[in-house]
Structure 1
Amino acid sequence: MKRRTFIQAALAASVLAGLSRTGFAGNERKSAMIDKIERSEQQWADILTPEQFEVLRNEGTERAFSSPLNKEYGKGTYTCAGCDLPLFDSESKFDSGTGWPSFFQPIEGNVETKRDFKLILPRTEYHCARCGGHQGHVFNDGPQPTGQRWCNNGVALKFIPA
């Protein structure tokens, strides 16, 4: 086995082990009973900016350090830019240094997760539970009390001050 292949296999195994310890290794986590919003692609394009549409509907990623919400630390609530469902309380926000707004936990029941293999290694992707808008990915390198980093695209959020 070549060294590069061994390193890739070891990295993949450690990622999978970490996912199984945190409960993200299974299938999609279901949210509480939330009335879903269903719109056509044209309806979404009519109400979202092109940047919001790319992230929320096409599962894109905005450029790091491009969102003013990355440095927003006022008290309030972060809601989905597509449907205004509250996703994060400002008390769970922290500066991860990654260039995207980061939180250590979402509002219970307002996000759904699924496995993402777009970068070959599995990641946990999360979406708004109401409109299905892509928000970001969950990583296991956040602060206590959860140890998680819910890394969010700022363009996919709105900040509502308290």
Structure 2
Amino acid sequence: MFNKLNDEEIRVIENKGTERPFSGEFNDFYEKGIFTCKKCNTKLYESDTKFSSGCGWPSFDDNIQGAVKRVPDVDGRRVEIVCSNCGGHLGHVFEGEGFTSKNTRHCVNSISLNFEKK
């Protein structure tokens, strides 16, 4: 069973939209815990993989194993990331930018996430 989503959550999570940069609650958020999928509660990201990229959306350099699926974006240039359980749109993944030693940035919409404090 999935969580009930409001209209804006549906626009981003189900219809593959994007929230405005620097507007999401988790952009400058650094508490310890786990970020979960807003639609199905799957655990997606540990807080220690989150970093500041300055891009305007929460950035992570790794996901919990098996939690995030990469799919070609319809724009033909980017790689979309979705929850592997429910298929909810999270954002996009970029590699080779050099922000962290893992050289990966999951650029995630805050609206696609919930947070469980440790």
Q: What interval of TM-score do these two structures reach, taking the shorter chain for normalisation?
A: over 0.9
Report which structure shows greater RCO (CA 8 Å, sep ≥6): 2
Q: Which amino acid aligns with 1:69?
A: F
Alignment of 1:33-72 (within 5 A): 47-72=4-29
1:149 maps onto 2:105 in alignment: yes
Match of 1:91 in 2: 48
Give structure 2 stretches of 5+ with no counterpart.
none
Q: Deviations over 1:120-139 (max 9, x none)?
A: x5111010011100000001
Contact 1:104 1:142 in 2 (8 A): no
Say whether 1:109 aligns with 2:66: yes
Q: 1:70 touches 1:99 (CA, 8 Å); kept in 2?
A: yes
**Sequence identity of aligned pairs in percent?**
42
Secondary structure of 1:91's aligned partner? helix
Question: Which residue does 1:124 correspond to in 2?
Answer: 79
Distance in structure 2 (CA, Å) of the matches to 1:95 and 1:143: 9
Aligned partners of 1:155 and 1:142: how far apart in 2? 26
**Deviation, structure 1 residue 144:** 2.7
The residue that corresponds to 1:160 in the other structure is 116
**Deviating runs (4+, > 4 A) in structure 1?**
none
Partner Cα distance (1:49, 1:160) in 2: 20
Correspondence for 1:73 among 2, 20, 30? 30
Counterpart of 1:131 in structure 2: which amino acid?
A: C
Aligned length: 117
Partner-residue secondary structure (3-state), 2:41: coil
Alpha-carbon distance, 1:96 to partner: 0.7
The structure with the largest strand share of the pair is: 2
What's the TM-score once normalised by structure 2's chain length? 0.93
From the two aligned structures, give the one with the greater helix fraction.
1
